[in-house]
Homo-oligomer: A and B are copies of this chain.
Amino acid sequence: MYENFDFHVLAHILPNQTRSQKPKPLTKHKPDLDMRIEIPREFERIGAIQIFGLQKVYELDGGIGEHERSSVIECIPQDVLHEQMKNMAIVVPVKEERLKLIEGVLVGIPSSCDVIIVSNSSRTPVDRFQLEVATVENIAKFTGKKITIVHQKDPGLARTFAEAGYTDIIDEQGLIRSGKAEGMILGTLLARWLGKQTVGFVDSDNYFPGAVHEYVSEYAAGFAMNGIKNTFVRISWHSKPKITENSLFFAKWGRSSVNSNKILNHLMTHFCGFETEIVKTGNAGEHALSVDLALQLEYAAGYAVETHHFINLIETFGGVLEGGDPKVFRDHVAICQIESRNPHLHESKGDEHVEDMIDASLSVIYHSPLCPQSLKDIIMENVRQRRGADAPEEIAPVRVYPSLSKLDLDIFLKGCDEVMQHGESNQYIRKNAEAVLPG
């Protein structure tokens, strides 16, 4: 019955080891832990932009750096990652999130990063923001994490935007508009105010602290591999579990991603002349970029912010539109796409808006001056296939905030100094700070 057992036992890597031949003690290298990550196998170039192919992560923790180096796998030592993290602010937009989830996300963010929580949670009837502050205080007390938390509807911050000439973001009440894109703009500017060179984004509804930890480590890896200047790191999820018929199905791609990646690749193909599938992160919510680069980009409202960043990068640095600033084409912009190893499992808020999300992503491509008529036709065909008789004649444009270069940064930062230190909330800051930092 067992004669076809031609091999049964297999000892890898330790080929000639017996008890008396233990591996040599590995003391010559100091322990530097690596994240082990594939180097990109391909890239596309368009003007100043280099879009690298998806990079796979082979080990979350490559252990001590004693292994043979491979020419196709990059090993990024942990201390290099943490040097990058010290330059980084992680922005966590929050809206009516369960406190346990926020706590878990904070637990997963490495302590070397600054955290900026931009909350747009309700203040009445229950002051949910106050509950969030209490949660953050508790975590900060036990970890010494550097956390800044602001409310998106803070009148002082709105005033600061107005003074800096960036009034598009102000609503009829004179406050910052609601929305995740608006929170991202605020978070990016606060990262600059804190003196950070890079800014990354993490959703507040992730169930797995370990996944958050991985994203941030991958942001750091992207900057370590490409340099900070003009680098954009975008994460493609390994999989996104969906609950179907009371079990989990590990979908590789969400419908939103499928559509926006497909159309973005059509656009790339149009400019490159060779068909390409290089774009895998067209609407990557998990992304990080240098603050200087972020301050040159436009922000689309609603679901389109990530796809619009992609488009706006090509508009600005691709050298395919007339009238651009020739100086910027001498820059080099790297788009680094990394495939995370943890599945992405987040709070399910229902999928009813998925068609709107797809439309928003396609809209910013459609309405870009980059978009050739042939691609407009493809986009409208896509809309008709998904919407049937409800399809509009032309896909509606979404609100796009002007480039942050239109904002007077000096005035804004000075206003922040005021609001964060000497404004109406001043007293509260001090009280908390004293409670958290003894001495």
Contact = CB atoms under 8 A, between A and B. Distances in A.
A60 B213 contact: yes
Interface string A420-439: 11011101111011101110
A319 interface: no
A419 B150 contact: no
A124 interface: yes
Given A13-B437, A429-B10, A144 B210 contact: no
A239 to B, nearest CB: 9
A207 B26 CA distance: 32
A111 B59 contact: yes
Given A4-B123, A207-B343, 20 more contacts: A2-B155, A5-B154, A7-B425, A7-B427, A9-B151, A9-B419, A12-B146, A13-B140, A13-B433, A13-B436, A18-B417, A19-B193, A31-B79, A59-B145, A60-B213, A63-B112, A64-B111, A68-B438, A73-B142, A104-B341
A144 B68 contact: yes
A195 interface: yes
Interface in A403-426: 413, 417, 419-421, 423-425
A28 interface: no
5 contacts: A9-B154, A10-B432, A11-B420, A13-B144, A61-B213
Interface in A139-175: 139-140, 142-151, 153-157, 173, 175
Contacts of A229: none
For chain A, give the interface size range.
35 or more
A2 B247 CA distance: 45
B9 A423 contact: yes
B8 A151 contact: yes
Nearest to A423: B9
Interface in A1-53: 1-2, 4-19, 22, 26, 31, 33-34, 36, 38
* 8 interchain residue pairs of minimum CB distance: A210-B210, A63-B111, A15-B433, A8-B154, A63-B112, A67-B144, A7-B428, A61-B110
A246 interface: yes
Oligomer: number of copies = 2
A264 interface: no
A64 B79 CA distance: 9
A223 B156 CA distance: 50
B13 A60 contact: no
A208 B343 contact: yes
A347 to B, nearest CB: 9
A219 to B, nearest CB: 13
Contact of A9 (B111, B147, B425): B425
A417 B31 contact: no
B248 A61 contact: no
Contacts of A17: 194
B213 A210 contact: yes
A348 B248 contact: yes
A374 B229 CA distance: 71
A86 interface: yes
